[in-house]
Amino acid sequence: MDINSLTERIYNRNKIAVSRAISVVESGNENSTLLLKEIHKKTGNAYRIGITGPPGAGKSTLTNELIKYYRKQNKSVAVIAVDPSSPFTGGALLGDRVRMSETSTDDGVFIRSMATRGSLGGLSKKTIDAADILDAAGYEIIIFETVGVGQSELDIARTADTTFVVLVPESGDSIQAMKAGLMEIGDFFVVNKSDRPGADSAIMALKTILMFRKHDENSWLPSILKTVASEKLGIEEVAEEISKHHNYMIDKNIFLARRKENSKLRIKEIVEDIIKNKIWTPERISDLNYKIEEVVEGLTSPYSVADTIIKDFKNQIK
Amino acid sequence: MDINSLTERIYNRNKIAVSRAISVVESGNENSTLLLKEIHKKTGNAYRIGITGPPGAGKSTLTNELIKYYRKQNKSVAVIAVDPSSPFTGGALLGDRVRMSETSTDDGVFIRSMATRGSLGGLSKKTIDAADILDAAGYEIIIFETVGVGQSELDIARTADTTFVVLVPESGDSIQAMKAGLMEIGDFFVVNKSDRPGADSAIMALKTILMFRKHDENSWLPSILKTVASEKLGIEEVAEEISKHHNYMIDKNIFLARRKENSKLRIKEIVEDIIKNKIWTPERISDLNYKIEEVVEGLTSPYSVADTIIKDFKNQIK
């Protein structure tokens, strides 16, 4: 692979090159690392937005309307939509992707799905790698759209500059039962499909829960907005809230601090992934499968087996 | 610490010794590893049950009734209740603990809470370590009671021989939106508080979702049971379903296979935790904090920093 020729075309926002580069980072091979090291100097300019929430909340429709909003402001937008591995919701998302394709002929819009299914962990790592490609390509807005059902989806949303959670009125009853992570991650909340009954009680339930979030007088207070994305209602307010959150972070000197913290977590994940790959060679896995028999029979303990593996690993990298 | 004297008292099911041993494994120090290696040969006899579900579903009340059921059969029972770190539900669980204390004067019952708050990851590891202590002490039934809101709580429930998910009729509306993990983890489901309206529609919603779980003609089909734990209704059926699932796994030769798989995951986690602790020394963390500045300024990339850390780590363990 000719990295230099590829990076040049990425910097010129050539969609085919961008697409190819994302496939390279998805594969996670050596070229991926070379490419990411090379393009990093061109990153840091895009504003990254995380959109998450339960399946069926209308995240894709809302994303679609946000794209149109930013395009009217002449801003280029890239979307990374993370499909969940769950068979329960795969179908619905596929439909959403089709709907989103109406913007796909626009040169200032780039949409890419990334699948969790079959990914050996590291999905959040690869998603952030892909965002770096899009950032280097000059897209001004990068949207991560994830379904807030698993840890890695939450991890992805967390790496954004501003993250919001999309709910529906029907979520009201279940907000108490909802993954605490989803409640803690939102810089603000959107009750979509708010023309349905129960919108106001959903907002009340949300407010009650949000009161328990740690805060002091200087804290950013998460708003709750209403939208009907399918009728294009409330989209501008969402975009304004993103912008308000951005300005708040800059005013309070926490914008760069948040990026640094994310960057630190990212480096830790990269280091740990590389080391894990070095530990779990096929030989060591098959050795482990053999030792498990002895563990289950009580002849040796998990901690003794772990000791042996670590000793062997140390000898390997000597 | 005199490990031999402690293990002898553990094997005699001395509650004070068991309690002390669990504190040792919670601390995770060197004695913890020595102790766990020593007692492992006495483990493998307890049947491990995982109970999970959203906050407020009545898991503790149900656990309490199951304890009474097994005690009537003259079986000893130990419970590890994992409190979530979320401030939203802490209060409710505290109340549950008080209710559970009515069984605490019984010598055949041992109840222990373990907190997620402040735990540096590894909660599932420590919970399983604690279960090994209880197993070696001769408790015949070990119940893990966790709130199904985070990955580590799900990981804990997953290590059980039989796991069931407790829901309430009000969960009906939100079952579609519920963490896919919670749906996939249950060997069976319990709709508790089933005297409330909506129980049957919650069961219908559950059935619809469960139809999508991968299965073939030999698969275990997860039942959905109704209980009113506060009125002691349906408890026997829950215990019978646990027993039925146990027999099914033995018939199909998957009982030991499941334990081996869990043991393998456990060893992997132990190895990775030890290595992570070796990587992230205070010196390396402070070095990373320094390098982050250069990363954010675009002078170096996350992948280059990762390379440097790995090189340094290799030199250290040489």
pLDDT bin (cut points 50, 70, 90) of residue A316 is: confident
Average pLDDT over residues A67-79: 96
Q: Concatenate the DSSP letters of all residues of B243-299 into one string.
A: HHHHHHHHHTT-HHHHHHHHHHHHHHHHHHHHHHHHH--HHHHHHHHHHHHHHHTTS
Contact A280, B265 (CB under 8 A): no
Chain B residues near residue A288 by CB distance under 8 angstroms:
264, 267-268
Chain A residues near residue B36 by CB distance under 8 angstroms:
301-303
Over residues A125-166, the pLDDT tens digits come to 889 999 999 999 999 999 999 876 566 667 777 789 999 999
For chain A, domain boundaries: 3-271, 280-317
Chain A residues near residue B302 by CB distance under 8 angstroms:
36, 40, 263, 266-267, 270
Smallest CA–CA separation between B81 and chain A, in Å?
Answer: 18
Burial (CB count <10 Å: 0-12, 13-18, 19+), residue A213: middle
Average pLDDT over residues A74-83: 90
pLDDT at residue number A179: 54
Do A263 and B183 lie within an 8 Å CB cutoff?
no
Closest chain B residue by Cα to residue A56: B177
Q: Centre a 10 Å sphere on the Cβ of residue A113 and count the other Cβ atoms it contains.
A: 15
Rounded-to-integer distance, Cα B75 and Cα B66, Å: 11
Do A43 and B310 lie within an 8 Å CB cutoff?
no
Q: Is domain B43-258 classified as CATH 3.40.309.10?
A: no
pLDDT at residue number B88: 35
pLDDT at residue number A139: 98
Over residues A291-301, the pLDDT tens digits come to 999 999 889 99
* pLDDT beyond 60 at A177: no
Q: Smallest Cα–Cα separation from B57: which of B202, B201, B243, B187?
A: B202
Q: Concatenate the DSSP letters of all residues of A200-268 into one string.
A: HHHHHHHHHHHTTS---TTSPPPPEEE-BGGGTBSHHHHHHHHHHHHHHHHHTT-HHHHHHHHHHHHHH
Chain B residues near residue A274 by CB distance under 8 angstroms:
306, 310
Q: Smallest Cα–Cα separation from A147: which of B181, B121, B192, B77?
A: B181
| C-alpha distance from residue A238 to each of A146, A188, B181 (Å) | 17, 9, 30
Rounded-to-integer distance, Cα B167 and Cα B227, Å: 10
- Which residue of B170, B299, B318 is in closest CB contact with A173? B170
Over residues B135-159, the pLDDT tens digits come to 999 999 999 998 765 666 677 777 8
pLDDT bin (cut points 50, 70, 90) of residue A44 is: very high
Smallest CA–CA separation between B227 and chain A, in Å?
Answer: 19
Chain B residues near residue A271 by CB distance under 8 angstroms:
279, 306, 309-310, 313
Residue B228 carries which DSSP code? B
Residues of chain B with pLDDT under 50: 85-96, 98-99, 118-121
Do B88 and A209 lie within an 8 Å CB cutoff?
yes
pTM of the model: 0.81
pLDDT at residue number B120: 44
Length of chain B: 318
Contact B88, A180 (CB under 8 A): yes
Chain B residues near residue A178 by CB distance under 8 angstroms:
54, 174, 177
CA A224 to chain centre: 21
* pLDDT beyond 80 at A218: no
| C-alpha distance from residue B314 to each of A243, A278, A315, B283, B300 (Å) | 45, 12, 11, 15, 21
Do B296 and A260 lie within an 8 Å CB cutoff?
yes
How do A188-191 and B77-83 pair as beta strands?
unpaired
* Tokens of residue A1, six digits: 């692979």
Chain A residues near residue B54 by CB distance under 8 angstroms:
174, 176-178
Q: Smallest Cα–Cα separation from A223: which of A242, A196, A199?
A: A242
A3-271 sits in which CATH class? alpha beta
Residue B148 carries which DSSP code? T
Do A149 and B181 lie within an 8 Å CB cutoff?
yes
Max distance between CA atoms of chain B, in angstroms, equals 69
Do B279 and A279 lie within an 8 Å CB cutoff?
no
Over residues B89-138, the pLDDT tens digits come to 343 444 445 445 555 678 899 998 887 554 444 677 889 999 999 999 99
CA B258 to chain centre: 15
Rounded-to-integer distance, Cα A303 and Cα B212, Å: 38
pLDDT at residue number B209: 77
Over residues A99-117, the pLDDT tens digits come to 455 556 788 999 988 875 5
Smallest CA–CA separation between A230 and chain B, in Å?
Answer: 20
* Tokens of residue A223, six digits: 């708003």
Q: Smallest Cα–Cα separation from B121: which of A151, A305, A123?
A: A151
* pLDDT beyond 50 at A74: yes
Q: Smallest Cα–Cα separation from B159: which of B193, B128, B204?
A: B128
* pLDDT beyond 90 at A88: no
pLDDT bin (cut points 50, 70, 90) of residue A92 is: very low
* pLDDT beyond 90 at A96: no
Start-to-end Cα distance in chain B: 32
Contact B192, B58 (CB under 8 A): yes
Do B174 and A170 lie within an 8 Å CB cutoff?
yes
Closest chain B residue by Cα to residue A136: B298
pLDDT at residue number B146: 85
Chain A residues near residue B303 by CB distance under 8 angstroms:
33, 36-37, 40, 270
pLDDT at residue number B86: 38
pLDDT at residue number A94: 46
Do B296 and A256 lie within an 8 Å CB cutoff?
yes
Percentages helix, strand, coil for chain A, rounded to the nearest 5?
60, 15, 30
pLDDT at residue number B172: 56
Closest chain A residue by Cα to residue B44: A296
Query: Torsion over CA of A229, A234, A236 and A238, rounded to 10 degrees?
Result: -90
pLDDT at residue number A103: 57
Q: Smallest Cα–Cα separation from B296: which of A74, A45, A199?
A: A45
Rounded-to-integer distance, Cα B279 and Cα B273, Å: 10
